[in-house]
Structure 1
Amino acid sequence: MVNEEWGAAQYEAAGWILLDPYRGATKSHRAEHKECGNQDTKKLESIRQGKGCVYCYRAGPMTRLSDDAAFERMVKAVFTPKDREYPGVLTKWLCTCNECGRDVWITLNYAEAAKGAGCPDVCREKRKAEKKAATAARAAERRQKGQEDRGARWKSKRKAQEPEAAALALVQGCTPAEDYPGPDEPWKLTCNACGELFVTTCAYLRRMKKPKACHVQGYDTVRPAYVYVLEHLKTGR
């Protein structure tokens, strides 16, 4: 059977104030170190083995913060405590988040570690969304810049190929009617034989073995045309 008074006395003798009901030597209990005033989770078994306060070990002798000092530090970390009674550095304190206005339970350690970023719920999700949006915006900007750079390189390449393409068009019996768009892009040319505009590609002109007499083929839908009406002699249709 566990003797709670005996367990509390053992913690007291080792320099700790037991804050939870004693449940056994191998169980973790919340306790406050008398020397520095900080709270930690300790086992009586660990205390007997000589394991002391981690805060005293890391920072040397410490003094417990006063209520006013803790309140000021919490306000500086963008949290306003509901009351001025400081519960301890590792104990959650009911505060109002100055960023989103919600009431949250938070420790002074976490509030100061957050460095003014707000509460771990709403403000954290808001920061994640803002970070995600900023990342997407940077990615879109990089894509846009890449497209512009590729477009500029391709435009420069086309400009360098334009004299050769214009000379090829003249050899094939046509004259460019617009700037050279590229080897496989539709290109408006004027046929030197009939003076009509037609559309082809530079790649097609390169494949031609000899110049055509006229490049304009098919029906001209603009000019007048003859219409022939035929009648079948046997059926009369």
Structure 2
Amino acid sequence: MRAAGLEPLEPYPGAMNHWSCRHEACGQEVKARYSNVKRGVGICRWCAPNAPVDPEQAADLMRASGMEPLVPYPGTDSPWQCRCTACGTIGTPTHGSIKRGQGGCQPCGRKQAGQGISRAKARRRAQPRADGDQASKEIQKFDLEPLAPYPGPSELWRCRHTSCGRDVEIRVHNLRRGLRACPYCPPTPGGRRRWPADEAEAMMKAADLEPLEPYSGRRHQAWHCRCTGCGRETSPSLNGILNGQGGCRHCADMRAAETRRVDPEVAVADMRAAGLEPLEPYTTSMTPWQCRCTTCGSKVSPTLMKIRNGGGCRFCASHGFDLTAPARVYLMQHPLHNAVKVGIGGTAGRNERVAQHRRSGWELVQHWPFATGVEAHAVEQAVLRHLREAGHAPHLSRDIMPNGWTETFNAALVTPTTLAALVETYIADLAGTVTPVPGRTILRPERWRSRSGPSSSKLRPESENDGRDQLALF
């Protein structure tokens, strides 16, 4: 055992038993078998090629490489969670990789590699190029004049394009691949990839646009400008201007509207052909135009578009709501939807709306008859306008009630009693104010008092119509 470098620490136990000894080479205490030592194997497990690693020595090796262990030693080839003492990044290198000379922190390794590449490039730039004269002769074929020393085939080389006189930065290997020498010069007549800032601003000013920021160099990017025509701010692109598009959308819409504008003489002729005599100058086809009906003498305000689509005087119309026949304002409620509705309809025959709504589950609460539909229409519009201004939106949707859904309201906010009082209030306010025919007053105070009657159907229970959380109406 002493010939193999082992000093026994206890009496000989036998050839096949473990014998406690100290290895003089490393100083570690080992338990070797005499039979193995005699064959030349198993002398010291700490000095063997696959010897186990001491956790303390492994931790010291990690700290020496700049990695502070955060967990106990897991094994030489197992990931070991550590923190880099330089940048603080937590990584999982292995003890075996550190032992082989690899780095422990990946971010620091990439940074060092990048710095090494940068230093190598700097050294190459500092060295004079022997092929600079040949490259200068080569780029003369492309009408380029060098303005700086030759940096190499893959580096940017500042030159001047003698054809257009602009300074450009080119790579020699791009010229050898067939790319253009100057990005400002078009490859074909009428085409250009890049526009200089001064020419780009001149193009925008020619299109009546004043740039509010510098040109970004990208022709497809929005460019904040102010229209010199209308003064509005807009953001067109240089590519749109080059393609002939307008810079200011408002001015473009005005020009398009002017081209579509109807000749006033033609518009007057169309109104007269429909039996309407204009009382004011023509503005647009979608603007109400005050006219007088040559048949009944009433003043109406249709649009030219409606007249061209077959419309005419609303008092002489043979379809829809008859403004000259007797009519009524009705108040209905729907118990299932908890909704109330105000509307107008004829008393019999054409446009009798109450019977239609009853088939859908509506119940008539109260109605007010009038001599003409003009009176009923004036009261209905006044009530609806008042409710909209008070913040009441339609309660039902078009899917639930296709016809008349905009005239429905939440019965918890607008009770039938409150809505009936609102109708009677506007009946009194509008008395004697609507005069569709010259010299004839449609609304008269005495007629309102005689036509206001009690409810023709039962109201909902008072417990359901108490109007909790009701918005102020008056």
TM-score of the two chains, using structure 1 as the length reference: 0.38
Question: Which protein has the bigger helix share?
Answer: 1
Larger radius of gyration: 2
The higher-RCO structure (CA 8 Å, 6+ apart) is 1
TM-score of the two chains, using structure 2 as the length reference: 0.22
